[in-house]
Structure formats: structure tokens, C-alpha cells
Amino acid sequence: MKLLVPVKRVVDYNVKVRVRADGSGVETAGVKMSMNPFDEIAVEEAVRLKEKGIASEVIAVSLGVAACGETIRTALAMGADRGILVETDAELQPLAVAKLLRAIAEREQPGLIILGKQAIDDDMNATGQMLAALLGWPQGTFASKLEIAGETIAVTREIDGGLETVSLSRPAIVTTDLRLNEPRYASLPNIMKARKKPIETLTPAALGVDPAPRLALVKVVEPAKRQAGKKVGSVAELVAKLKTEAKVI
């Protein structure tokens, strides 16, 4: 069974993001970029399935500017076998990404596509669900456990107040939650080996997809700054402040 793993290049999770002065988005120039953390979990899960002999090949796919090739190299260094870069400078929203991934899925015929549950830049949490709808495949979202037996995939999902297990038939879509696994670090020899693994470069036009955005970004603002705390002199003063000044947020 082939596995397809879409990996998005996002601002590194350690970077304190800055909003552009004109409110048109987040500053990305000169900022460290990395693989979306939920996608690292997806690559890890796919590589483990290959190590267990359940998957035959792991294909990492990234869509966006040429530098997304670096994100694919990271996936290859973690153990993916080959990469596909869909190169475009156009802004890609989830529906366009899902349509491009559908086109790739139709070419590659994977048994399973493992995506992150959300990309930490826009927090859309939409691509996996849209892709499942476009392909007409079952989906197990927010997976914290994945078990494959024959044609059946059991996905344990983190839901409010507990866990839910769903059973999917192949081919299927799974999206990863934080507790699915702990991704490995790529070792130096594997980083070197990854340089030789193949990456195919395609374009949206070659896949027959118009990636034009459907949503217009109106404005991005920084979160409100927290006010400094105050020390109170007594319990009575604290109670008085709680009564008169404290607000339910």
C-alpha cells in the first residue's frame, strides 16, 4: 500500500510571529520556516507503517513556493521514499490544496493519505476533510491511534470528553492529532541519503487545477496586549477588586 503524506511549509512554531504593519498578514520574510508540526507526526506515522511492512512506499507532497522542496527533503530524511512538489507562487487556500491533492491521489492511487489535522499558520483544519469529500473516501480526523488490519483502518479520535474509535475501509483519509506519536529527528546519515531521493516537480496547470483563492483576507491583528498585574495589600482589597474590576473574559 502506498501512503501519501502532504507536508506544509509554515513559520516555525518557535518563532514569535509579527503581523505586517498594514494588517495584510503575518511577516514571513527572513523568518525561520519548518514543516508543520502535525505533518511531522503524519510522516512519522507513515514511516512506522513502512517499517512494520504495512506500507510499501511513502510519498511526501508539498504545495507552494520552490522552498517547499526543503520541507519535502525533511520528510525524506525522516524516511519518506520520494517527493512531489507542486510549485506555485499563488496563495493556496484549503480547497485549492484539496483539489491538487485529489489530482495527485488519482495519479498515485495511495491506500491512505495522512495529513495534519491543521496547519499552524492559518489554523484552517479543513484540507483533510475537503479532500475526503472530493475523493468520496472515508475519513478519520484527529487521530491519536491508528491500527491497520487488512483492508480496515481503525482510528481512535480525540473528542470532547473522551476517545472515539471509527473503522474505515481503504482507501481513506486520516488526520493526525498531537498524541499519535513523537516524531523522530532525522539523523545526519539520513539527511545525506535524502539528498539522493527523487522529487518530482509539477504545477497546478499540469494537474488541471485552478488554484485561485475563494476567500479574501480582510485583516490580521495582533492579540490584545496583556496588562501588567497589580499587587494588592490585603484580602479585603482583593475581594473588592474582584467585585468591581474583574471581568469575565
- Provide the greatest CA pair distance for the chain: 71
User: Is the bond leading into 171 cis (omega within 30 degrees of zero)?
Assistant: yes
- For ligand AMP, the binding residues (CB under 6 A) are 6-8, 36, 38-39, 61-64, 92, 94, 97, 115-116, 118-119, 122, 124-128
On whether the CB atoms of residues 131 and 5 are closer than 8 A, the answer is: no
Closest approach of Cβ 39 to ligand AMP, in Å?
A: 5
Task: Between 66 and 240, name the residue whose CB sits nearer to ligand AMP.
Answer: 66
Question: What cell was used for 62?
Answer: 508539498
| Shortest CB 87 distance to ligand AMP, Å | 11
**Backbone angles phi and psi of 141, in degrees to 5:** -100, 160
Residue number with CB closer to ligand AMP (129 or 156):
129
Nearer to ligand AMP, 97 or 153 (CB): 97
Q: CA 114, CA 209: separation in Å to the nearest integer?
A: 21
Q: Which is nearer to ligand AMP, 72 or 194 (CB)?
A: 72
Type of residue at 180: L
Angle at 136 between CA 199 and CA 200, to 5 degrees: 5
Cβ 242 to ligand AMP, closest distance in Å? 39
| Least distance CB 193 / ligand AMP (angstroms) | 22
- Residue with nearest beta carbon to ligand AMP: 116
Residue (63 or 231) nearer to ligand AMP, CB: 63
Q: Write the DSSP string, 64-87.
A: ESTTHHHHHHHHHHHT--EEEEEE
- Minimal distance in Å, beta carbon 176 to ligand AMP? 8
